[in-house]
């Protein structure tokens, strides 16, 4: 079990490092290259360097808000049910 956890952690670290290097090259270094340079063929349009993280942020915050809201509703239902049982 520990070996598979280490392998999974290592794989996740490699993926995170690749994404970091790719995004940094795309968003920060690419404007310094001439547009005729073939490196531009490896990256989407620059406008997506802003749109994609913004979209991921909105989706992530929405999921967190949904989780917190549903947890609050469930806890309130449990409290109401306990109060109803005490009153009965």
Each residue of 29-51: pLDDT tens digit?
999 999 899 999 999 998 999 99
What is the Cα–Cα distance from 10 to 21, expressed in whole angstroms? 17
Token output for 88: 């009965």
Residue 14 or 1, more confident: 14
Give residue-wise pLDDT tens across range 65-82: 999 999 999 999 999 999
Please, are residues 39 and 30 in contact by the beta-carbon 8 Å criterion?
Answer: yes
Task: Tell me how far apart the alpha carbons of residues 20 and 69 are, in angstroms, rounded to a whole number.
Answer: 32
How much is the pLDDT for 1?
61
């Amino acid at each position: 079990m520990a070996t598979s956890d280490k392998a999974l952690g290592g794989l996740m670290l490699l993926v995170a490092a690749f994404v970091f290097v790719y995004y940094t090259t795309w968003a920060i270094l690419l404007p310094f290259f001439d547009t005729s340079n073939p490196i531009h063929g490896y990256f989407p349009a620059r406008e997506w360097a802003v749109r994609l993280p913004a979209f991921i942020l909105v989706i992530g915050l929405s999921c967190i808000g949904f989780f917190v809201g549903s947890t609050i509703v469930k806890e309130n239902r449990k409290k109401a049910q306990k109060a109803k049982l005490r009153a009965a």
